[in-house]
Each structure stands twice: as structure tokens, then as C-alpha cells.
Structure 1
Amino acid sequence: MEQTYFSSNFRLGILGGGQLGKMMLYTTRKWDIQTYVMDDAETAPAFEGSTVFFVGDIMNYDAVMEMGEQVDVLTIEIENVNVQALQDLEDKGIAVSPSASVLNLIRNKSRQKEFYRSQNIPTSPFETYDSPKKDHGREFPFIWKSAEGGYDGKGVKVIRNQDDLKELPEQPCLYEDMIDFDLELAVIVARNASGEMKTYPVVEMEFHPEANQVEYVLCPARISDDISNKAREVALKVSEAFNHVGLLAVEMFLTKDGEILVNEVAPRPHNSGHYSIEGSMTDQFEQHIRCVCNLPLGDTESVISSVMVNLVGEENHTGDVIYDGIEEILSMPGVTPHIYGKKQTRPFRKMGHVTIVNKDINEARKIAEEVKKKIRVIAAE
């Protein structure tokens, strides 16, 4: 008998209750799928939408095992989870997506880069180290990345001189060449357990210069068809190499010479795909649920051009959150805010996003600039 997911005893587990988990629940509630969610914060964004919510540390072996043994399929919304527990759950017959082996490769940036090298996947020149090296033989500037634990711009630093090396923590890391690129691009690949694969359109990402976080995502990217096809082909090659189940967001550089270099990947719904809630036939969160439940994949094509603007906490603001100007942007055609449900703001914390849809991508980008000016995420006085 086939697995029945809808209005049944089937249980989907999600490790992590942040905004990505919350947005996955848009689909599970729509389809009446039971969800078990675990996060160490009892006020996590995904708390209210889940069927059962566990307060627990997703890095704790015993906590992950206890929760995982109660579900039929287990997935993640963040890579920092106890991988050994995931492996042991797989051995017990629980369907874990992405698998422990895939997650073990991806969550360590040094292993991830070595994997690209072994698979002949184009990436920037790099070297890995057990701890920062002063005698490295590289020209300044270059990029330092922490092998583990980096997230939303943390664990990444531009090294401009020898003095910058003195401030680095004593931990495994990698040094990467700085790439002279034209654009930063991303492609989300969806793959279910049957091996069906689809790619979303290539998006263009603009980063905040200080926080090193994505500030705007544009779909479609303003690139030629040839570059778009090349980016999607590279993303598919990466997906096939990892042999993952679920979504894989592949971040890339488009160099001045027109080459595509893979920067890094995320095996889950991703900031570069938030536009898809309003802009795509099938949004990335529904697609991830389809993948991990081995359901047929949805149509990935766009219905309209979209720009996503991240809403992050203003500098010098910490405390109870206020979305100053949200009423003003709600009056703008084609503008949809998403509030993640985090009660406390702090500088550069991701608090929500806004999607702008328009037939013209350049016009959508102009409106996004206006939105960015009108809304501020501040703390109550």
C-alpha cells in the first residue's frame, strides 16, 4: 500500500523551528500533514504552525534521537544538527533528507570545497588548514572562512594584510582566492528520492556590504540565455554529485570572463528562493516537502518577475521589534511582506522579507529600493 501523507497518521519531522521551518509549515498545513518540530527556543517562529513542538537542542544526540524516532520522515531547516544522530536514525529505517552523509559533506566548508575539487566542479582556488597559517603563499586580499559554524555572513572575513591574520580564531578553516566577479548567482535544484530533478530559474543576488548578507534577490537574473543555461547545468552537476534528496541551493560567481564558479551550497530551502512564494508556480517550501516525501515535483517556472528584499534589524537597535513603515509598503501594488515572528530584534538579524512582483524585473528592482527606504526594523523605545 502506498504511503498516505494527507489527513493521516504520517508524521514529518523538522529539525529547527526558525523562519524556514515556519514557511515549510505553510504547505503542511495546506495539505493537512502532521509535523513534529524541534527547536531550543519555545517561542521559535515554527511553534504555532506545528502539530507537536519539542523544546530541545538539535545539536544534542539524545534529543534528536528521541524526536526522530517518533516520525516517518525527518528533514532539516538548518545544517547545524547532530549528524551522528541522523546517521543512527537512518540505520533504524527513518527516512532522513538530506542524508547524514550529504549533510556531513556540506556542513564543513573545507570538506565541501575538497569535494568540488574531487568531482571537477568549477570553484575558486583554495587551501584548507587545521588552523590559520601566516605562511600561506597567497596574495592579499583573500577570503578566510571558518570550516564549521559559519552562517549568514558569520565565519567569513576578507584578509587584507598580515595584521588581519592575527585576529583569526584557532580553528579549522580555508583560504580562498578573491574572485573578480560580475554577479553572484544562485540556482535551486529540487530532487526527490525517485531521482526526479528540476531547477528553478537563475537568480541574481546583491549583498549588504557590511553584514555580508543577501540584501536583494532578483528573479530572473539579468543575464544572457547562454549564461543562464550554463549556470543551471553546473547546478545540476553539483546536485548529481551530492546525490541528495530535497532542495539544494547552489550559490555561484559569474566571473568577468563569463565562467561559472560554485561558491557553496545549502541542502534546504534558502534565502535565494523566498521570491518563489509569490513568483513561482511552485514555491520552494512546497517543493522541499514534495522532495522529502517523494511526491511528484511541482512546476518551477516563474509566473512573474520578482525581487526579494531581506528585512533585517537596524544597527543600534536591540529589543522588542517594531516594523516601522509596514503600513506604507502594504499600500504599494505588488508588494507582500513576510514577518517571521521573532519578537526580539538585534542588528542584522533576519526578521522578515518583502517580495515585489512586476512584469518588468528592472521596475521591480526600483520598487524594491523604495521598499527598503520605507520600512525599518527597529526596537521599541
Structure 2
Amino acid sequence: MNFFSSTFKLGILGGGQLGKMLLYDTRKFDIYTSVLDASIDAPCKVACNEFHLGDLMDYDAVYNFGKHVDVLTFEIENVNTDALEALEKEGVKVYPSSKTLRVIQNKAKQKLFYRDHDIPTADFSRFAYSSEILDAIHNGGLEFPFVWKSAQFGYDGTGVKIIRTEADLEGLPNVECIAEDMIPFKNELAVIVARNNQGEVSTYPVVEMEFHPEANQVEYVICPARIDEKVAKKAIDVALKVSKAFNHVGLLAVEMFQTKEDNILVNEVAPRPHNSGHHTIESSYTSQFEQHLRAILNLPLGKTDSKVGGIMVNLVGAEGYTGNVIYQNIEDIMKMPGVTPHIYGKKQTRPFRKMGHVTIVNEDLNEARKIAEEVKNTIKVISQ
């Protein structure tokens, strides 16, 4: 099939920043795109060929949208998988598949998948409702501390809470969830794996992630991770094992813990371009977004090596500000060497909302980290 400057149509479910960055590369290749999103102000709207309004969890909206595209992909997991399955049966190529997505959408199913496929992960207990946790504690089946995670619809730090006492259970939504052992780890790592329909596989270098202590969001992504080569190889091997188990097509971002004993435990995965790969736009031979396109269109995968050390800084809404966004001091960070800001196109800011990111590239990773800190302390995402 001819994808370039042709009648081929790529459908994208979700119109957020990941889709917008994916569109950088569809426009580069002149691939015709159609996007479905529930917001009239979705960032993708400015860059796609067609934009359609619709709820991604609504069967009819997803099914009717998907009938008119040749290949369907997504930039967010919260989509109607029944509609995806129906489209697959009618011949629409959906990547990653509805089968893969069904497992990943639910953290409890995801954890059971790891257990069934002998993939190392933290021990956990599964609950139909959060209200059952207290009984498990009183009966000796669960001990403090642990990490509570909602089985579905968690993102960017929501749906996750560290539970140290019974008081921490107050106010939790009474939903299906897991209670996961707290892991004393050295580092949080991630590996992005790309796989096309022919089974060709490639991995990006291991990255290290530094998190905001309150928002539970990534503040910095550092590539390459500052870890021993043996640990990096172990992380890549685990990521490849996860990828093989899912047999996905497209990207799979595998987030992991490096324990104090240098073991690797899988935390969770995302079957799409991911925050941990944003640096690849500037620092890699092939960006994660181009690689996702290559994979889902069954094209040869691109070179994943880094051209230079890269660090990504998330730009999130400052606490105490809600309303029309202002990027304060953005001109100052643009004076710094190797700094490239990416603004996602969201007109309204609120505390901790992802509004953009900044990439810092430098041949000296330590120098890049210093500049990243300066960037973080200089630019402020506030409101009018």
C-alpha cells in the first residue's frame, strides 16, 4: 500500500499532545490523517487533515469513525475496545490491537499478565472495591505501607496513592483496584520498544526518570540513564520479554524499577508514544513518533541510537494558577544552549496539568542536567 501522498487514511483516537507530535511526522511524510477527540479545542485540531468530535469511550463514535480509515491507532488508552474489536473483524487494521489494549487498560489485568508470563513485577493484591482493603489489613492479608492503584482510568499521578496508615484510605474512590508492595528502588527506568507487523523489533536506550514528589509526575527524563551497563542490558532484556509477551504492533513504553539489589521489576506499560520518549525528537536519529508510524505501517524501523545526550523537562501548570495560560520567561530559556521548548496548544492551565516540555541536548550529560535544572527554575506556567 502507498501511504505517502495517496488516498490512504490514518485514524488517530485522541487529539492531545501525543497525537499532535505524531502529526509532525505524518505531515513530514504527507500521510493523510483523521483524528477523533471529545474536545473542540484538542491540540491535534490544528495539524490533522480531518477532525471529528466524539467520545472515545462511546462505541458508536469510535466504530463510525474507524469505518472510514485504513489503519487506526491511538494516543490514549481510554478508548472503547468493543468498537475496536468490531472494526478489526471488518478488516480495519488496529495497532496496537484491541486484545493488547484490553489487558493494558486495566492495571489488575496487566499485573496478572506479568505474573502469567513470568515477567518480574512487584507483588500485589487485587480488590473488586477499595472498601475491601480494610478487611484485608485487619485479617493480616495486607500490611502497611503499600501503593494503592485504581485498576482503570489512572493517569499522570491520578489513581495512585501511597497508603501508610488507615487514615490514608479515607476518601479513596470505591473502585476496582490493586494494593502493590512498595519497592525500595534506586531508580525508575523506562525502555521504549518498537515492533512492526513483520516482527522486526528495536529498542531505544534506557532512560532514567525523576519524579515530582507531590504530583507523582515525571519532572525529568534523562537519556542515557546513569546506570551500569549490566543493569541497562537487564532492563532492555526485560522490556523485550514484555514486548514479546504482548506481541504488539507499534510502540510499547515499559516503565521499570531498579531495585537496591539491581534487579528489574516492571511497573506498568503504555502501548503508544510516551512521555519518556519525548527527548527523541531532538536527541535520536529516529523520534519515537516517526518510529510509531513506521511500526504500525509495517515499514522498516528507524535507527534508535542517540545522536547526543538528552534531557526532557515537563512543563506543568504552576500551583495556584488556573485560567488562560502564560509561559513566563520562555524567552530566557530559549537563550540557553541546546534548549528546545514544545508547547502543546492547551489554552487553559491548572495546577500540574501537562502544558508542554523542554528538551536539552548536550554532548556532556552532566552539563545538560545542570541546564535542565536552570530551565525548570526559570520558566513558569501561570495564568493571566
Q: Which of the five TM-score ranges fits, normalised by the shorter chain?
A: over 0.9
C-alpha deviation, 1:221, in angstroms: 0.1
For 1:122, the aligned partner's letter is P
- Does 2:3 correspond to 1:5? yes
Q: Alignment partner of 2:226: what SS?
A: coil
Provide the C-alpha distance between the structure 1 equivalents of 2:194 and 2:174, rounded to a whole number of angstroms: 37
> Where does residue 33 of structure 1 map in the other structure?
31
Residues 204-230 of structure 1: CA distance to partner in whole angstroms, max 9, x if unpaired?
000000100000000000001100100
Find 1:184's aligned residue among 183, 188, 192: 188
Same amino acid, percent of matched pairs: 65
Provide the C-alpha distance between the structure 1 equivalents of 2:55 and 2:191, rounded to a whole number of angstroms: 31
> Where does residue 134 of structure 1 map in the other structure?
134
> Where does residue 42 of structure 2 map in the other structure?
44
- Does 2:175 correspond to 1:171? yes
> Where does residue 239 of structure 1 map in the other structure?
243
> Where does residue 231 of structure 2 map in the other structure?
227
C-alpha deviation, 1:139, in angstroms: 2.3
Q: Alignment partner of 2:56: what SS?
A: coil
Q: Alignment partner of 1:205: what SS?
A: strand
Instruction: Write out aligned runs for 1:213-362 (5 A).
Output: 213-362=217-366
Provide the C-alpha distance between the structure 2 equivalents of 1:301 and 1:275, rounded to a whole number of angstroms: 12
Q: Alignment partner of 1:46: what SS?
A: helix
Residues 244-276 of structure 1: CA distance to partner in whole angstroms, max 9, x if unpaired?
000000000000001000000000000000000
> Where does residue 96 of structure 1 map in the other structure?
94
Provide the C-alpha distance between the structure 2 equivalents of 1:340 and 1:369, rounded to a whole number of angstroms: 21
Show structure 1 runs of 4+ deviating over 6 A: none
Instruction: Write out aligned runs for 1:53-72 (5 A).
Output: 53-72=51-70
C-alpha deviation, 1:166, in angstroms: 3.1
Q: Alignment partner of 1:134: what SS?
A: helix
Count of residues paired in the alignment: 378
C-alpha deviation, 1:164, in angstroms: 1.6
> Where does residue 370 of structure 2 map in the other structure?
366
Q: Alignment partner of 1:336: what SS?
A: strand
- Does 2:382 correspond to 1:378? yes
Provide the C-alpha distance between the structure 2 equivalents of 1:273 and 1:285, rounded to a whole number of angstroms: 9
Provide the C-alpha distance between the structure 2 equivalents of 1:166 and 1:222, rounded to a whole number of angstroms: 38
Provide the C-alpha distance between the structure 2 equivalents of 1:165 and 1:357, rounded to a whole number of angstroms: 42
Provide the C-alpha distance between the structure 2 equivalents of 1:62 and 1:269, rounded to a whole number of angstroms: 26
Find 2:197's aligned residue among 176, 193, 209: 193
C-alpha deviation, 1:138, in angstroms: 2.4
Provide the C-alpha distance between the structure 2 equivalents of 1:166 and 1:42, rounded to a whole number of angstroms: 36
Provide the C-alpha distance between the structure 2 equivalents of 1:328 and 1:131, rounded to a whole number of angstroms: 49
Provide the C-alpha distance between the structure 2 equivalents of 1:64 and 1:106, rounded to a whole number of angstroms: 19
Provide the C-alpha distance between the structure 2 equivalents of 1:355 and 1:367, rounded to a whole number of angstroms: 10
Q: Alignment partner of 1:315: what SS?
A: coil
Residues 186-241 of structure 1: CA distance to partner in whole angstroms, max 9, x if unpaired?
00000011110000000000000010000000000000110010000000000000
For 1:335, the aligned partner's letter is V
For 2:39, the aligned partner's letter is A
Find 1:160's aligned residue among 141, 157, 164: 164
Residues 104-163 of structure 1: CA distance to partner in whole angstroms, max 9, x if unpaired?
000100000000000000000101110122132222111000000000000000001112
Q: Normalized against structure 1, the TM-score is what?
A: 0.99
Provide the C-alpha distance between the structure 2 equivalents of 1:166 and 1:15, rounded to a whole number of angstroms: 35
- Does 2:25 correspond to 1:21? no
Residues 72-114 of structure 1: CA distance to partner in whole angstroms, max 9, x if unpaired?
0000000000010000000000000010000000010000000
Q: Alignment partner of 1:29: what SS?
A: helix
Instruction: Write out aligned runs for 1:98-137 (5 A).
Output: 98-132=96-130, 133-136=133-136, 137=141
**Which is further off, 200-209 or 156-165?**
156-165
Provide the C-alpha distance between the structure 1 equivalents of 2:15 and 2:175, rounded to a whole number of angstroms: 28
Provide the C-alpha distance between the structure 2 equivalents of 1:293 and 1:22, rounded to a whole number of angstroms: 18
Q: Alignment partner of 1:101: what SS?
A: helix
For 2:273, the aligned partner's letter is P
Residues 303-336 of structure 1: CA distance to partner in whole angstroms, max 9, x if unpaired?
0000000000000100000000100011111000
Q: Alignment partner of 2:332: what SS?
A: helix
Provide the C-alpha distance between the structure 1 equivalents of 2:272 and 2:111, rounded to a whole number of angstroms: 18
Provide the C-alpha distance between the structure 2 equivalents of 1:46 and 1:252, rounded to a whole number of angstroms: 30
C-alpha deviation, 1:168, in angstroms: 1.7
For 1:310, the aligned partner's letter is N
- Does 2:78 correspond to 1:80? yes
For 2:202, the aligned partner's letter is K
Provide the C-alpha distance between the structure 2 equivalents of 1:231 and 1:168, rounded to a whole number of angstroms: 33
